[in-house]
Amino acid sequence: MESYINYIVADMRQHMKKYHKTPVYNVIAVPIEQIHANAYNPNHVAPPEMKLLYQSIKEDGYTMPIVCYKTGENEYEIVDGYHRYTTMKLHKDIYERENGKLPVVVIDKPLEQRMASTIRHNRARGSHSIELMTNIVKELCDSGMSDAWIQKNLGMDPQELLRLKQVGGLAELFADGKSRVADAE
């Protein structure tokens, strides 16, 4: 049965390649053991964001594939998605739920183009707008979400939440003369 399913999937993938040149239309499930990191990714994610990434993958599953370059018959090198890959490597619950496989799209480019792709992917993510984050915090507070909930679900520490409340001039959040900011843990 599995070989029949693999045949159907392979046939569908060939059909999709004919009409869609964008890699995301050709996601494949690759065992994590066949994937390795590249040696040129300058991106670093701080521990709070890694914790949030784990929570995101745990709650929502993998919503973005890992971008790879095929280096051999069953070998793939990461172009983008190292931290999503690392999350599976570090967390047995994610590994088991996903049967040890990551969603992968393959690009076929020479090394310098893969390096440029890695940088583009990293830089294209940009940064959070303080104004937008302040608005989100205000809306969450207005809807009754606790500071602990906001910190946990937005990946914030108490000081960051306090700063966003201060920047936003959320006077009502300080009505009792002190912040309601508390540790999420």
Per-residue exposure over 132-168, b if at least 16 CB sit within 10 Å of its own CB, e if not: ebbebbbebbeeeeebbebbbebbbeeebbbbbbeeb
Q: In the predicted model, is pLDDT for residue 40 greater than 80?
A: no
- What local confidence, expressed as pLDDT, does residue 184 receive? 41
- pLDDT category of residue 20 using cuts at 50, 70 and 90: low
Q: In the predicted model, is pLDDT for residue 153 greater than 90?
A: no
